[in-house]
Amino acid sequence: PRQCSVVFSFQLENHPGNCWPFPGSQGHVFIKLSVPVIPRAVTMDHVSGTTFHGESISGAPKDFAVYVSDFSRVGGRGLHSISKQGGFKEEHEEQGTFLGQFTFLWALNPSQTFQLKNELPGVMNYIRLQVLSNWGHPDYTCLCRLRVHSDP
């Protein structure tokens, strides 16, 4: 079967300073997918570490988890983000179905693909990216791009 991708770019271009920052080193974002899919993998993209000097790359995600949900029973409303230090509030705190926990090794490659567990009963409408840690920046974490790979 052919594979398709849903791309969520937090900013249009992937270069230094052009990211979606949230306060602190932990937080999460709910993303409403444009079409329902059965996710098979995600690709995390960040600016290359060679582009940065000093501590700038320390705001990149390090450990993260991926969850999915169809939200049909709770009526999800698009993109919501939450971090422990603040951010947007959301009406429902459902975790969703856990599909894996990973470590993004930005020094190895600024674009890395992670295979997800595929124990899903059907297509999903929402993905939840839970950032568990970053590479040491105490004030913020920056997300550049997340690609969701799926079967059509």
Q: Residue 89: which CATH number?
A: 2.60.120.260
Q: Are 57 and 49 in contact (CB under 8 A)?
A: yes
**Residues spanned by the domain of 76:** 4-151
One-letter amino acid for residue 105 of the chain = L
State the DSSP code for 137.
Answer: -
The number of folded domains in the chain is 1
pLDDT averaged over 10-residue windows placed end to end, the chain, 152 residues: 49 60 91 88 82 68 94 48 41 73 91 89 90 95 89 69
From the number of C-beta atoms within 10 Å of its C-beta (0-12, 13-18, 19+), residue 2 rates as exposed
What integer pLDDT is reported at residue 80 of this predicted model? 45
